[in-house]
Amino acid sequence: MSHDPNWVVYGFERDGISYYQVNDLAGRVHVVVGRAGDTFWALPAGDVPFRASLPSRRVSLPDGATGAVVLRQPEFSILRYEASGDAVWSIEVPGEVR
């Protein structure tokens, strides 16, 4: 499902909730995003520390960060912003100003 060749995205659904797991090419889990309607959350998974910016709770991006689209769906996208080794996973919805 990934739009970036550096990442592998797995999507699955259970009980009406969608999950998107993002792995690096070595198979390590970096983030799992859950979605129910317009509500998103990031789940702790794997052994790679992460910060997540959600539509309901934005976090600051690293100074000078560049973003890469990892997954694009009609209702939302998952991006990874990085600068100097500091990274933030961001779930963004259409029309939102980041």
pLDDT 10s digits, 47-76: 888 899 999 999 999 999 999 999 999 999
Q: Residue 65: what pLDDT?
A: 95
In 1-98, the DSSP E strands lie at 7-14, 17-24, 29-36, 39-43, 52-53, 66-72, 77-83, 86-92
Other Cβ atoms closer than 10 A to 12? 9
Instruction: Write out the two tokens for 26.
Output: 């070595």
Distance CA 83, CA 69 (A): 15
- Mean pLDDT score across all residues of the chain: 93
The answer on pLDDT for 23 being more than 80 is yes
Does the model's pTM come out above 0.85? yes
**pLDDT for res 49:** 85
Confidence of residue 89 (pLDDT cuts 50, 70, 90): very high
98, pLDDT greater than 80: no
Measured in whole angstroms, the distance separating CA 58 from the mean position of its chain's CA atoms is 13
